[in-house]
Structure 1
Amino acid sequence: MDYLAQLQQHNTLLKESLALSQKALALSQKENVLQKELIARLQAQGVQQQEQITQLQEKVEALEAEIRRLKKLPPKPDIKPNTKPPDDSDGPPGTPPATGQGDEADPDDVPKHKVSKPDESTRNQRKQPTKPPPEKSIRVPACGVPPGSTWNGTTPFYVQDLVIKPTSVEYLLDQWITPDGKTVTAKPPANLHGHHYGPTLQAYILHQYFGCGVTQPQLLEWLWDIGLSISPGELSNLITKGNEQFQSEKDEILVAGLRCSSYIQTDDTGARHQGQNGYCTIICNESFAWYATTGSKSRENFLSLLHRPFRTYAMTGNALDYLRTLKYPQKWLRVLQPYVGVTFLSYEAWKACMKEHGLTGKKRLQQASEALIYASLIEHGLGHLTTFSDGAQQFNVFKHAQCWVHAERLLYKVHPVNEQQASAQKWCRTWLWAIYDDLKAFKAEPSKENAMKGRLGFLALIQTRTNCRALQQALSGLAVIEKELLLVLEDPSLPLHNNLSESLIREYVKRRKISGGTRSEAGRQSRGHLASLKKTCRLYGLSFWDYLTDRLNGAALFPRLESLIEKASQILSCGLCSSF
């Protein structure tokens, strides 16, 4: 009995010990869970702190750059890091490098060309012109020919040369005295355009200044070197004044371009005038290029540029609908309602009418003007236009499409703080360029299958969830502009990138760096006129020199640019008369 009691007591102790062990194990497991949760929170907190540090570093760099700019110091040099050469064993562009089992790809080791970039060309480069025919032939005898040799004909050796010399012509203008004592003097030839310099010299000066980017002091020095007598003021007048015919043809370019195009590309850049900051806006596509410099880059300014060929302003229901989208106050909508159907002969008349009603606030008047110009453009038949830009909201009128290259910068600008975020960023960028390739395939072969492939791929991309807050915000930004990016699925003629306007706007960027800003209104207009005519000629592969000499000599052999745009609208994809 004593032995049995001891055995039962021993079993009881074992059970208690086992229960205590189980409790200890449960506590240990709970402690492990708490430790894992603590580690996860610490890791998340560390990632958050790294992201904050990265953002602060960006702000510090921006402030340092602003300090350098204010102190007029040279900017910090942009030195790119070294990249590893491509590995022949890697897959096609856009695929990750091969890694061993259990290894993770290091995004920093992936060459930049692994991300597929857009390869859609814009315009072909100009070709070398053919050699001019020889004006004369000069036979050159051979020297040191041994006796008994047989003559074997001649071998042509072409030489091109340029004759540069100043010439002077004296015009003797007849003078007559009328019976009433007045003097009647003959006028000089019309191709001189009121200048004391011939049309060929005028064309050469305009070509060197606007076509080749030669500065006015350097051009003046060269003219003096060859013996031409011309003052700095006369040279300035040749560049800025007497260009009325160029202004009229530039206006024709805009009218024909807007009328014959289904879409336009646009961009802007800085352009100083009279010491004040201004902006140059380009409106273009594959058939024309048109520049204008103004003091603002607002949507009202852009609409007024599109409206520039027209003079009348019509208040219609489209204007009220436009204002309702801006949540315009009902008070002012009731003021504008009675004017529906009224046509104002000028902007001044419209502004004076609104002033009588007390609509003088800067913001409200600007929005009302936007609506009026918007409705007037629709009345003039331009409601079909699609504007294609880099995403700037001042260009968001009518239908608006955005550039995929600029949209990808939302992902590119993300600064990952660890390998996981860097890998997620690389995959998102690769995915986006894969969608870009699908859209290019759709443009080549428009079909419902290709359209659905691109649309579903983009929908899957913006619904991706990552562990990087900045990358997630970038994907959300892509979701906001989904309609603008996928508008090409409704109109395959639309481009996918804004490279054309980006390359054409460089004309003003280079001029700004070479010659700075303009001082006179004539100089500002002349810069816009000649840039528009030059780049339009370049789009058709025509010689800007031939254009200038033809217009200044009055030969009228060079085709009107307006007619070229009308013909191109039947061939190019941007044309309203073309079929895609």
Structure 2
Amino acid sequence: MTQTAPAEKLMTVLLQSIDPKEIADESLRQTIELLLNLIEQLNSKVKDLVEENQKLRDENNRLKGEQGKPDIKANKNIGFQNDHSSEKERKVPTKHSKSSKNATIKVDREEIDQTGARVGGVNHTTNIICNPLYTVYLTTKNKDRLSVLKVLQNVTALEFILNEFTYELLDTLNLPTKWNKQLKELLPQETVFTEIEFNALLDEYLSKLSFQYRTRVQEAAAIAFYHQQTNIPLIKALVCDDAPQFKLLTADLALCWVHEARHYKKLSPFVACHRQSLDEFLDDFWKYYRKLLAYRDFSSQDKSWELREEFWTLFSTVSGYEQLDERKRLTAAKISELLLVLDHPELPLHNNPAELAARTMVQRRNISYATQTTEGTKAWDIFMSLVSITRKLEISFFEYMRDRISQIGNIPSLRTIIRGKSVLNPFGWSWMPE
């Protein structure tokens, strides 16, 4: 043991000192890069196996009536393993000066995020929808696309329609042609169905449809109805993370750059040259982010093209660190969602307001744990929404509640106040009526 330890230390030191970029011979450099990436893969697998093994040990001990390994937090996080926040890199230090929060509001989009909830001991999901003038909390049983669609329409039951847009969506959702054909031939077209009616038709005419494909049909038909209804304004763009349940609901989707950065923060390179590559990339990532921020204030067609070219350069340049390069390829595939701001500069680059609103709900959940009934959950959502909305509108929540309970009527409805403030601020593309 004493003889092998110095040898292992020497190998580690040697490994951390290797930099393939300094190797002149191309064939040798490629071989070294291949070996270093293999080491990264094996190191990652070892970490996963160690964690899984420890979980199995803990569960085995629990079944025996013993205790598992104590969860003792380290004094300081090292590297990117646990600290996935990007607030330090995202923010540009500025001199603090207090001013009106609503002076330059641009109401032009909805930001959405989800957080876990418990109702009567059963897992639920709280959806948060917000913009600069309001924040709304709505708790649902599921976190899927149909549940989000209910939230956007503020309904408890969806309506469905089979039309041309439905089949466009089904093509995007990869529904096999034979099911598309049967939907067109066997079910009424251009007819609005309730949830019960539509499910009954699927049971009768497409009983062999698998659960996955049935869900896709329901999603497409529900989204198509949402886009053709006229009872409520359509939301043109959502600002959110990359969760699949938010996709296809609106005409456009803007992805959060802060969430995208978390994918890179989760990388934990073992080799020194790979750590350096990741550090250099993250520096370039946030420099580019700040250029997008500057573009929102001073946009131009020439600058738009320049930023698009720089995007491709940033996310297509090969570093030699395979895990980083693969992550960059995945980001590059989201160019339309990440660079929607170049076409519509009023859009934000992140959905932090929704994240902060979700954090408020999490804090409330930690204090009160959970609700027990549907009625209690609805009351919780309503009061959380009222507190958030009155704060954004700079209205005292206490005065608002006193006005409503006493029926004095000095404070107009929140809807009236929101519409009034919206008129005083310039609208962006995503809030312009059809």
TM-score tier after normalising by the smaller chain length: 0.7 to 0.9
Residue 226 of structure 2 aligns with which residue? Answer: 377
Measure the CA separation in 2 of the matches of 1:68 and 1:534.
Answer: 42
Aligned length: 384
Q: State whether structure 2 residue 193 is matched by structure 1 residue 340.
A: no
Deviation at 1:296, TM superposition (A): 1.0
Which of 96, 116, 132 aligns to 1:270? It is 116
Q: Secondary structure at the match of 2:118?
A: coil
Matched, 1:396 2:396: no
How much has 1:65 moved relative to structure 2? 6.6
Measured at CA, do residues 36 and 523 of structure 1 come closer, stay the same or move farther in structure 2, by a change above 3 Å?
A: closer
Q: Deviations over 1:169-193 (max 9, x none)?
A: xxxxxxxxxxxxxxxxxxxxxxxxx
Tell me by how many angstroms 1:542 deviates. Answer: 1.5
Instruction: Name the SS of the counterpart of 1:513 in structure 2.
Output: helix
> How far apart, CA to CA, are the structure 1 residues paired with 2:247 and 2:284?
27
2:163 corresponding residue in structure 1: 316
Contact 2:107 2:428 in 1 (8 A): yes
Q: Which has the larger radius of gyration?
A: 1
Partner of 1:434: 287
Could you tell me which residue of structure 2 aligns to residue 118 of structure 1? 91
Q: Is the 8 A contact 2:160 2:195 kept in 1?
A: yes
Residue 307 of structure 2 is aligned to residue 461 of structure 1: no
Residue type of the alignment partner of 2:47: Q
Could you tell me how far apart the structure 2 residues matched to 1:504 and 1:120 are?
23
1:405 is matched with 258
Query: Aligned partners of 2:202 and 2:78: how far apart in 1?
Result: 61
8 Å contact 2:160–2:218 — kept in the other structure? no
Number of the residue aligned with 2:46 = 56
Measured after TM superposition, the shift of residue 268 of structure 1 is: 0.5
Paired AA for residue 412 in structure 1: K
Structure 1 spans left out of the alignment, 5+ residues: 1-32, 84-106, 128-259
Q: What CA distance in whole angstroms lies between the structure 2 residues aligned with 1:43 and 1:52?
A: 14
Q: Residues 449 and 49 of structure 1: is their aligned pair in 2 closer, same or farther, counting only changes over 3 Å?
A: same
| Contact 2:121–2:372 under 8 Å retained in 1 | yes
1:281 aligns with 2:134: no
RMSD of aligned residue pairs (Cα, Å): 3.5
Who is 1:367 aligned against? Answer: 216
1:541-572 Cα shifts (integer Å, max 9, x gaps): 21111121111111222221111222233316
Q: How does 1:1-16 map to 2 (within 5 A)?
A: none
SS in 2 for 1:467: coil
Looking at structure 2, the residues matched to 369 and 459 of structure 1 have their Cα atoms a distance apart, in angstroms, of: 37
Query: Unaligned regions of 5+ residues in structure 2, if any?
Result: 1-22, 101-105
Q: How far apart are the structure 2 equivalents of 1:66 and 1:555?
A: 62
Secondary structure at 1:541 match in 2? coil
Alpha-carbon distance in 2 for matches of 1:512, 1:308: 23
Equivalent residue runs for 1:123-522 within 5 Å = 262-309=108-155, 312-337=159-184, 338-344=187-193, 346-359=194-207, 361-380=210-229, 382-383=233-234, 385-397=236-248, 398=250, 399-522=252-375
SS at match of 2:114: strand
Check whether the contact 1:572–1:578 (CA below 8 A) recurs between aligned residues: no
CA contact (8 A) 1:116 1:434 kept: no
- 1:488 touches 1:494 (CA, 8 Å); kept in 2? yes
Seen in structure 2, the aligned counterparts of structure 1 residues 489 and 66 have a Cα distance that, compared at 3 Å, is farther
* Higher mean displacement: 455-464 or 561-570: 561-570
Q: Distance in 2 between matches of 1:293 and 1:390?
A: 19
For 1:52, the aligned partner's letter is: L
Q: Encode CA deviations 1:49-80: one digit per residue, 9 max, x unaligned.
A: 24421442255346647876986876441532
Summarize deviations over 1:321-347 as a string: whole Å, max 9, x none.
111111212333223225221122x22
- Stretch moving more, 299-308 or 275-284: 299-308
* CA distance 1:573–1:405, change in 2 (3 Å): farther
SS at match of 1:271: strand
Q: Deviations over 1:129-173 (max 9, x none)?
A: xxxxxxxxxxxxxxxxxxxxxxxxxxxxxxxxxxxxxxxxxxxxx
CA shift at 1:526, angstroms?
A: 0.8
Q: Secondary structure at the match of 1:465?
A: coil
SS of residue matched to 2:417: helix
Equivalent position SS for 2:146: helix
- Asked if 1:80 corresponds to 2:80, the answer is no
Name the structure, 1 or 2, with higher relative contact order (CA <8 Å, separation 6+). 2
Measured at CA, do residues 82 and 426 of structure 1 come closer, stay the same or move farther in structure 2, by a change above 3 Å? closer
Identity of aligned pairs, percent? 24
Quick one: structure 1 residues 306 and 43, their matched pair in 2 at CA, closer, same or farther if it must change by over 3 Å? closer
Q: Is the 8 A contact 1:568 1:575 kept in 2?
A: no
Which SS does the other structure have where 1:277 is aligned? Answer: strand
- CA 1:405–1:500 in structure 2 vs 1: closer, same or farther (change >3 Å)? same
Tell me the distance in 2 between the aligned counterparts of 1:67 and 1:560: 58
The AA in structure 1 aligned to 2:140 is: T
Contact 2:192/2:225 (8 A) holds in 1: no
Matched position secondary structure for 2:113: strand
Contact 2:239–2:254 (8 Å) recurs in 1: yes
- Amino acid aligned to 2:220: A
1:419 Cα offset (Å): 2.7
Does the aligned pair in 2 maintain the 1:407–1:478 contact within 8 Å? yes
Which amino acid in 2 is paired with 1:484?
E
TM-score by length of 1: 0.60
Structure 2 residue aligned with 1:244: none
- Does the CA-based 8 Å contact 2:238-2:254 persist in structure 1? yes
Larger deviation: 569-578 or 303-312?
569-578
Q: Which residue is 2:380 aligned to? A: 527
Counterpart code for 1:375:
A
- 8 Å CA contact 1:432–1:461 kept in 2: the answer is yes
